[in-house]
Amino acid sequence: MITKKIQLVLMAILIAVPALMFSQAKITGLKIIENVYNRETGNDMQGDLTMSLINSRGDQRVRKIKQFVKDFGKMEKKIMFFVSPADVRNTSFMNWSYDEAGKDDDQWIYLPALKKVKRISSDSKSDYFMGSDFTYDDLGDRHPTDDTHKILREETVNGEDCYVVESVSKDEDYIYSRTVSRIIKDKWIGLKKEFYDEDEELLKTLTVKKYEKIKNYWTILSSEMHNVQKDHTTKMELANVKLDTGIPANKFTERMMKRGLK
């Protein structure tokens, strides 16, 4: 009798331990955020970005940008040409980001009035991009290892099964005390994200409005960032998206920053 009980316990252990191990190895918060960060987006991408800045009175200002991105293996190069408003037309911005954790991006800006390409510091990733509600980090450049991540739960959002992941910065002085993201399982798209300020108050919410599979890559086409404290909103829309067209490497050079969209 005792032998039978021992056999049952052993069997239970033999079944439960691997199952437990499997479930623990299945996925972690870090792995989910890494999957979002490393989501396949093609070897290169180009598109027209429209940012609409809407204030609490509903007044709207629109910024238009043509952008090109190319993966060079251990680094990614991005070049942006500002199309409007008129006073920033022909300004261009180039960013080289690196897979290597801790290595800062290299950034340059070309100001047509100065006719000069200037190297700028990429240290201020908490700066807002062109007066919008998106910081440079919010635009997707934040490395997963800069935060610690924890799965809070799983839930369904707009019919999509999502992981809910809380991310806390390793840098105590970071502008967000924490963020909470809803990541679509298997698509690795952050569908919704809440940003909490240093006082743990809700600061901003990001909502992805439209995403499509283009050439087998899930691509975000429309998103909206709402600053709930100041009642600002920034709508970000990407149109005329082309993936894997073989953008030449020399597109991402000082020569092209100066030449512009010619």
Full DSSP string of 117-140? EEEE----TTSBGGGSS-BTIIII
Choose the binding region for other proteins from 13-21, 115-123, 144-152, 208-216 (rule: CB under 8 A): 115-123
Q: Does 117 bind other proteins (CB under 8 A)?
A: yes
116, 158, 210, 239: which one contacts other proteins (CB under 8 A)? 116
Q: Does 89 bind other proteins (CB under 8 A)?
A: yes
CB of residue 157 to other proteins, shortest distance in Å: 29
Q: Does 128 bind other proteins (CB under 8 A)?
A: yes
Q: Does 64 bind other proteins (CB under 8 A)?
A: no
Q: Does 232 bind other proteins (CB under 8 A)?
A: yes
CA distance 153 to 193: 14
Which candidate, 108, 138, 100, 89, places its Cα nearest to that of 252?
108
Q: Does 84 bind other proteins (CB under 8 A)?
A: yes
Residues 131-160 that bind other proteins (CB under 8 A): 131-132
CB nearer other proteins, residue 123 or residue 154: 123
Yes or no: say if 210 and 222 are a contact pair by the CB < 8 Å rule: yes
CB of residue 166 to other proteins, shortest distance in Å: 27
Q: Does 57 bind other proteins (CB under 8 A)?
A: no
Which candidate, 82, 86, 87, 131, places its Cα nearest to that of 109?
82
- Provide the CA 83 distance to its chain's centre, in angstroms: 23
- Provide the CA 186 distance to its chain's centre, in angstroms: 17
Query: Does residue 100 sit in helix, strand or coil?
Result: coil
Q: Does 173 bind other proteins (CB under 8 A)?
A: no
Size of the site for other proteins (CB under 8 A): 38
Q: Does 72 bind other proteins (CB under 8 A)?
A: no
User: For residue 77, what are the contacts with CB-CB under 8 A and spacing of at least 6?
Assistant: 69, 70, 94, 95, 96, 252
3-state helix, strand, coil in the chain (%, to 5): 20, 45, 30
Residues near other proteins, by CB under 8 A? 53, 55, 61-62, 84-87, 89-90, 96, 104, 106, 108, 113-124, 127-128, 130-132, 232, 250, 253-255, 259, 262
